[in-house]
Chains A and B, each alone.
Chain A
Amino acid sequence: QSVLTQPPSVSGAPGQRVTISCTGSRSNIGAGYDVHWYQHLPGTAPKLLIYGNSNRPSGVPDRFSGSKSGTSASLAITGLQAEDEADYYCQSYDSSLSGEVFGTGTKVTVL
């Protein structure tokens, strides 16, 4: 059972901007733990997109950006491209569970 809630799906036309929310609680995001984001294509290894709430690893396009406020975080994709069609997951740490937790996952569809 995921303790971080994401919308099941979001969609947008090429070039548009989409955002994915990640809602947690006072034992994870609200406790000050960082939020990280991953892109996952079925059958492949998940890829780190954003770490430490808003930092991009080298090689990740600046079309991807992250933010965090209170008990929630967001991933924004600007200039949406066909290759962005994938599943996206947020991740943080939960002090009540004493372990890492993932969001429910969001499927991004490029129309």
Chain B
Amino acid sequence: QVQLMESGGGVVQPGRSLRLSCAASGFTFSRNGMHWVRQAPGKGLEWVAVISFDGNNKYYADSVKGRFTISRDNSKNTLYLQMNSLRAEDTAVYYCAKDTTIFGVAAYFDYWGQGTLVTVSS
């Protein structure tokens, strides 16, 4: 069965960096686009970023563009999110989600992880 397991969350000061990981299993990781989606406390879901199956195409929400970098290692079946210059408004539960397509554009998410909490606070 498909499993997605996020890790790397925690408490970090404003302006600092954090890297999230998402370990995937139960499907051929290198054949699917992958996304990060977040949910701030008391708020709705917000799409953050997508990476294509081969890592060559990446797109970001305007709110994180220039600060966050999505990447993947298909040899390790792992998705990453490097978060720099963190702000209080980045505080959220971060989910990784599997796409049903290879490019991850205009698609949907058939499996999600349980999420990892990132708290940006001094």
Contact surface of A with B, Cβ cutoff 8 Å: 2, 33-34, 36, 38, 40, 44-48, 51-52, 57, 87, 89, 91, 93, 97-105
A101 in contact with B95 given A48-B110, A93-B105 (CB within 8 Å): no
Nearest A residue to B96 by beta-carbon distance?
A45
The answer to whether B110 and A57 have CB atoms under 8 Å apart is yes
Closest 4 pairs between A and B when the two form their complex, measured CB to CB: A93-B106, A105-B44, A36-B108, A45-B112
Contact with A along B79-110 (1 / 0, CB 8 A): 00000000000000001010010000111111
Which residues from B are CB-within-8-Å of A2? 44, 46
Q: How far is the CB of B119 from chain A (nearest CB, A)?
A: 16
- A–B pairs, 9, beta carbons within 8 Å: A36-B109, A40-B45, A48-B108, A48-B109, A97-B61, A100-B50, A101-B47, A102-B44, A104-B44
Which residues from A are CB-within-8-Å of B110? 48, 51, 57
Nearest A residue to B110 by beta-carbon distance?
A48
**Complex Cα gap A40–B107 (Å):** 19
The answer to whether A99 and B45 have CB atoms under 8 Å apart is no
Q: How far is the CB of B62 from chain A (nearest CB, A)?
A: 7
Q: How far is the CB of B74 from chain A (nearest CB, A)?
A: 22
A91 in contact with B60 given A100-B47, A102-B44, A102-B45 (CB within 8 Å): no
**Complex Cα gap A98–B57 (Å):** 12
**Complex Cα gap A107–B51 (Å):** 30
Which residues from A are CB-within-8-Å of B14? none
Q: Which of B1-31 contact A (CB under 8 A)?
A: 4
Task: Using A46-B45, A99-B59 as known contacts, list a sample of 14 further A-B pairs with CB atoms less than 8 Å apart, ordered by residue number in A.
Answer: A44-B114, A45-B111, A46-B112, A51-B108, A52-B108, A57-B110, A97-B61, A97-B62, A99-B60, A100-B47, A100-B106, A101-B47, A102-B46, A105-B44
